[in-house]
Amino acid sequence: MTDDSEAPGDDEQYHIELRDGDIDGPVLLPGDPERVDVIGDLWDDTERLADHREYRTLAGKYAGESVAVTSTGIGSPSAAIAVEELARVGAETFLRVGSCGAIQREIDVGDLVITTGAVRQEGTSGEYVREEYPASAHGEVVTALVTAAERLGHEYHLGVTCSTDSFYAGQSRPGVGGFRASGADDRLEELREAGVVNFEMEASAILTLAELYGLRAGAVCTVYANRVTGEFRTEGQRKAAETASLAAAILSRMDRIKREAGADRWHAGLSLDDE
């Protein structure tokens, strides 16, 4: 039996350097710390709370609602740390916001992908729960992201994401000198034929941890590459940031309407237009 009394950051969280009460409202989770400031520039006001390692956090207001953003760095190991420590200071809703590579021909560079679930092709979530456990986006978060994309007029696609630990071998890209990981081409084709829409590196761990802990999570990413057509352009970053920010505000309004109606879950009988 292990001694679980060792808990770094009982007061201030060890990695993100936040304390209980610092977070009020949904939290956006970009990978790149520089995207934190891109997102914050969209908001009505911001306050920098912490900046340690890959974890940079701002809090502020968007469309009159409280919201926060914390960068996670690249990959599921560091994203899981962010979710763990943010949850410990009171965060309950997480929206992964970033970039991705599409693996379906009809998805254009610059479009958005809103994740409904994820293939857990990363190792972090496997340290929490058996591999058959689904990585599912919360229905309310998906609804809010779709509503936001529709209101903003952004082209979007719904579907299953594949999250990997490797940008190169794990996503069936060649390595140095043309190296090809065993089964890379077959794996890519299998995912495409199964209807998986995109590759990225954090969503499945975020979704899995949120579900295990009874929290809400979802993901929206701008498409930077299409693996079928060979296109690659780093454009449209602002679309995902706008959509996630508006979705966070919508979720806060949804929660208020649910409380007033005495409802536990959002459903078709409730209306945002009533506010």
Provide the annotated active-site residues: 15, 85, 173, 227
Helix (H, G, I), strand (E, B) or coil at 105: coil
CA-based nearest residue to 154, from 145, 164, 142: 145
Helix (H, G, I), strand (E, B) or coil at 134: coil
Element (H, E) at 45: strand 45-52
CA-based nearest residue to 76, from 163, 194, 199: 163
Q: How many distinct helices (H) and strands (E) make up the chain?
A: 6, 11
Distance (Å, rounded) from C-alpha 98 to C-alpha 238?
Answer: 10
Residues 6+ positions from 22 with CB-CB distance below 8 Å: 49, 50, 57, 59, 89, 90
| Cβ pair 245, 62 in contact under 8 A | yes
Distance (Å, rounded) from C-alpha 52 to C-alpha 153?
Answer: 35
